Amino acid sequence: MSHKVKPSVQSLKSMPADYRFLGSPPLSDTLENSSSGSSVSVTIPRNGHLKNGFKGTRDSVGGVDNGNEDSPYSVSNEDPVVPLPRSTDRRWSDTSVYARKKVLQFWVQLPCGNWELGKVLSTSGEESVVKLPEGNVLKVMSETLVPANPDILDGVDDLMQLSYLNEPAVLYNLEYRYNQDMIYTKAGPVLVAVNPFKEVPLYGNSNIEAYRKRSNESPHVYAIADTAIREMIRDEVNQSIIISGESGAGKTETAKIAMQYLAALGGGSGIEYEILKTNPILEAFGNAKTLRNDNSSRFGKLIEIHFSETGKISGAKVQTFLLEKSRVVQCAKGERSYHIFYQLCAGASPRLREKLNLTSAEEYKYLQQSNCYSINGVDDAERFQAVTEALDIVHVSKEDQESVFAMLAAVLWLGNVSFTVIDNENHVEPEEDESLSTVAKLIGCNINELKLALSNRNMKVRNDTIIQKLTLSQAIDARDALAKSIYACLFDWLVEQINKSLAVGKRRTGRSISILDIYGFESFDKNSFEQFCINYANERLQQHFNRHLFKLEQEEYIQDGIDWTRVDFEDNQNCLSLFEKKPLGLLSLLDEESTFPNGTDLTLANKLKEHLSANSCFRGDRGKTFTVSHYAGEVTYETTGFLEKNRDLLHSDSIKLLSSCSCHLPQAFASSMLIHSEKPVVGPLYKAGGADSQRLSVATKFKDQLFQLMQRLGNTTPHFIRCIKPNNVQSPGLYEQGLVLQQLRCCGVLEVVRISRSGFPTRMSHQKFSRRYGFLLLESIAAKDPLSVSVAILHQFNILPEMYQVGYTKLFFRTGQIGVLEDTRNRTLHGILRLQSCFRGHQARSRLREHKRRVTVLQSFVRGEKVRKEYTELLRRHRAYSAIQSHVKRRIAKRQYKATVDASVVIQSAIRGELVRRCAGDIGWLKSGGTKRNESDEVLVKASVISELQRRVLKSEAALREKEEENDILRQRLQQYDNRWSEYETKMKSMEEIWQKQMRSLQSSLSIAKKSLEVEDSARNSDASVNASDATELSGSGGDFRTHGRTRSVGVGLSVISRLAEEFGQRAQVFGDDTKFLMEVKSGQVEANLDPERELRRLKQMFDTWKKDYGGRLRETKLILGKLGSGESGGSAERVKMKWWGRLKSTRF
């Protein structure tokens, strides 16, 4: 049935043509007024995925300005749906009793609990007859029937678009999409992800690109990640993606998909590859196979990815919560311990297996308990290679990797350590077998110290130390505690190494997106301490979820003073108070009982029942069990092992053992545990004795971590993803309604949709609204304040008063009401941009034409100058080429002419000679009486002779040209040899002249010296004769002696001078002969196997050496003769001697 729109609305020119107001009456009135043959008129949202040929269109936000910082959307905007009937006696306001017609469809709940779609055949009083699709007819109470949505709404991608929002409608919509592999559905601001348990074609680079460009707006993890990164950049506020759900719902895979999208958008620096490679490491060391999930995360994980100012990933940090250490030493049937143990046993290389003494997984007792060693479709050896590659990528060295594997092998071998009873008091000691020796070797400790640490305990009582032997159960507990501590410390060390590799450092900008992948709500047949902590964490996360979507929203309505009916919702504050209240809360009482030496699991249960029975969320049961009413449902816990796991003791003897190891990893583990044990423990020493390795209990530490996590998440804009597990057997295509409905109730998805439907999900401040839409006003208003402008805009577009509320600081709109403004704004901006583009295009074209003109003129000048320079250069080269060619051609022509003439002469001479000889032979033959040949024979003979001669002539010319070329080459070589020989002759003549001058100088010096000595000798003889005649007898004898000495000295001097002169002559003769010989060898007159140039240089060096030595000896002779002749010669002789030595000194050798 159609309804007319008000005339004022129809005349509004600025409204989009396809806009529809909610002026139609409620659907209940339509149903009441319609007959059995009439159809139901329903307003269909524009972006829904509808069947029967209907296709949705993009909402108005997906236009031009979707990424604007002023965008008001926190959820997608779509056209409003028809208002639903109200009821006061039912929780769901749109599922109340109304007029039932036979042709309408309803949901009927079967005895098994499933919902089935049926048609009402008749109604009688409070009972109705319903026909099911299989043909079965049921009679049910009319009030139990739940209305169904029309077929056109089957498979909508947002649950808020359903006309009737109830549990069976939500279940059917999710199942409809699940069967078509559309596993993602929006529930207002929450994304619901149903695990398909198979590969679906929704991922990959093409899908990432589609969501990046927003060409695909279907619900997806990519869309959530894209919204987070855009809001982070736009609002400069940190974001968080909180992924929750039961074990096996697909939380880990969802987190990996979100990380892949963030890495694709923020990649480029290479660190995004390292971030993605942390997943194989953390999954191998922190995930295990459980009965519900083949890859269950047994720890909580928060990955904080930091971004630079440009939106690129600059680093990351990983934080973990509550690793399930008990799985290392104990696991149930059909489950597995942590993946890394099986991967190491299956994929280790032969060298590593030999080094670690590894065997198969079936040989280790820790792994034998579950009797499950493999997972279908998983290759542990291949996964081990992926882990080693990931360790390389995050910069864990090969040495550290081998140390890590050694610690894993040590944990496995610790489980094989057995004990032997040694006395009647059941005291034990470890057996010295392969297991014990292998553990000692792997961790690098002494085997005797290991035995003492596993069988004895040192307790300090005042100033004394008491050694207590352990019983079998105590020794097993000590062994298991050591194994659990080694593995937990190894896990923390790996996380620390990953954080070092992904460190942000100086690139930190404060912008980050945190992805929280934490264990979901757990409820088993037997729930222990781990489920207690996990469910407490989920209660705290659920409160964060409620506070963000329920409490804060309603409180904001109240603070802004809008007229809004409060909607009740379930709050879990009472349950959180049960856990956290002091001093009478679950955690406080657990810590208090853990400090008592005699505290047991039974005393803990009794204490909880005694103090907490008044709390509505707590119920005490028999024995060691108690029940807590969580937000997701009731869970019964058994206190067995609560105290021991909360204490998490590792005795000081074990810590000392680790600190004494030679390997660096156990030492690091011991240092870490000693740091935690520096302060006093939470209570007195336990009955086991020794010191605790932790100053706080496990529950208290986990509570502190949880509070820090909530504080961090509170400072971010959250984005919620609720993962749903469709069945417990992990089978694709199987959809269990009861299981899915339970999870929807647990995670509060139905509450989210109900609150969002009844509230005002779109809100905007007055300033932002007036700034964003103020330019759409057709007429200016007097008041320019934001509130007046906003009200004027609302009035101009005739937005119905019930569709919005004006608060003190903000405007609140129901779903889809602001879409008309966005449409008009986008169309107006499109027009403005079109006008601007035309004008800017005109300006650009004008500037381009002017630039082209200027560039053309400039190019013409440049090219002209360039061409002129090139022409000048070409002309010069042409002239040079012409000159060169003329000379070359002239020489070639001369050479060819000369060769032709010479060849012609030779040919002529040869022909003439041959003719002469032939004629002479013919004449002789005629004379000898031979018969005459006729003329024709003679002509033939001459012609053959001429051709033979011509061939010979051509051959001779070719040979002649080759000889001429060889002659030219030989002439050139001969010319080179002549030039070299003339240079050598010149050099040798100059050297010979220098030597002759030096020889003549030496000869003249020697002759002068010889003459001087002879003159001195004659002078001395004459003086001696005169003195002898005048001397007395006494003095005569002495005078004779002196005269004889002087005569002898003169004779010695003459002999030395003679030897020097003789040596000079000999040397001159030798050097002269050698020089002459080398010159003959050089000229080729004498053949010798030596290098004349090298020998001449050597001869010159010898001559210089001898000359220097000869000059030194001459100077020594001068000094000796000078001493002998001092004071004995008169004036003339002395002058002659000095003259001679001066001349000798001035001579240059």
Q: Which residues are catalytic?
A: 247-248, 252, 293, 296-297, 520, 522
d(CA 860, CA 866): 10
Tokens representing 814?
């129901």
Could you tell me if 275 and 313 are in contact, meaning their C-beta atoms sit under 8 angstroms apart? yes
CB 804 within 8 A of CB 769: no
Q: Which residues pair with 106 in a beta bridge?
A: 118, 147
Residue type, 781: I
CA pair distance 115, 133, nearest whole angstrom:
12
The answer to whether 453 and 400 are in contact (CB under 8 A) is no
Which residue has 């559905």 as its token pair?
A: 185
Provide the residue type at 271 as one letter.
I
Torsion of CA 998, 999, 1002, 1004, to 10 degrees: -110
Structure tokens belonging to residue 891: 């020489």
Rg of the Cα trace of the chain? 58
Whether the ω angle into residue 583 lies within 30 degrees of 0, i.e. cis, is yes
In angstroms, the CA 1122 to CA 1009 distance is 13
DSSP string computed for 617-678: TEEE-STTEEEEE-SS-EEEEE-TTHHHHHH----HHHHHHHHT-SSHHHHHHHHHHHHHTS
- Lookup result for tokens 């049961």: 621
∠ Cα 155 161 162 (to 5°):
70
CB burial string 883-922: b at 16+ within 10 A, e below = eeeeeeeeeeeeeeeeeeeebeeebeeebeebeeeeeeee
Residue 980 near residue 1020, CB atoms below 8 Å: no
Asked if residue 407 lies in contact with residue 490, where contact means CB atoms within 8 angstroms, the answer is: yes
DSSP secondary structure string, 747-815? Answer: HTHHHHHHHHHHS--EEEEHHHHHHHHGGG-SS--S--SHHHHHHHHHHHTT--GGGEEE-SSEEEE-T
Contact between 142 and 97 (Cβ < 8 Å): yes
- What is the identity of the amino acid at 677? S
In this structure, the strands spanning 762-765 and 287-288 are unpaired
Among the listed residues 1064, 1057, 1058, 1060, the one whose alpha carbon sits nearest the alpha carbon of residue 1000: 1064
Q: How far is CA 372 from the centre of its chain?
A: 37
∠ at Cα 174 (168, 176), nearest 5°? 100
Burial of 761 (0-12, 13-18, 19+ CB in 10 A): buried
Integer Cα distance of 277 and 260 in angstroms: 11
CA atoms in the 13 A half-sphere facing the CB of 333: 0
What letter represents residue 879's amino acid?
Answer: R
| 3-state SS record for 796-856 | HCCCCHHHEEECCCEEEECCCCCHHHHHHHHHHHHHHHHHHHHHHHHHHHHHHHHHHHHHH
Cα dihedral 524, 528, 530, 532, rounded to 10, equals 90
- Residues in a beta bridge with 304: 317, 514
Taken in order 1005, 1006, 1008, 1009, the sign of the CA dihedral is positive
Do 38 and 103 form a contact (C-beta atoms < 8 A)? no
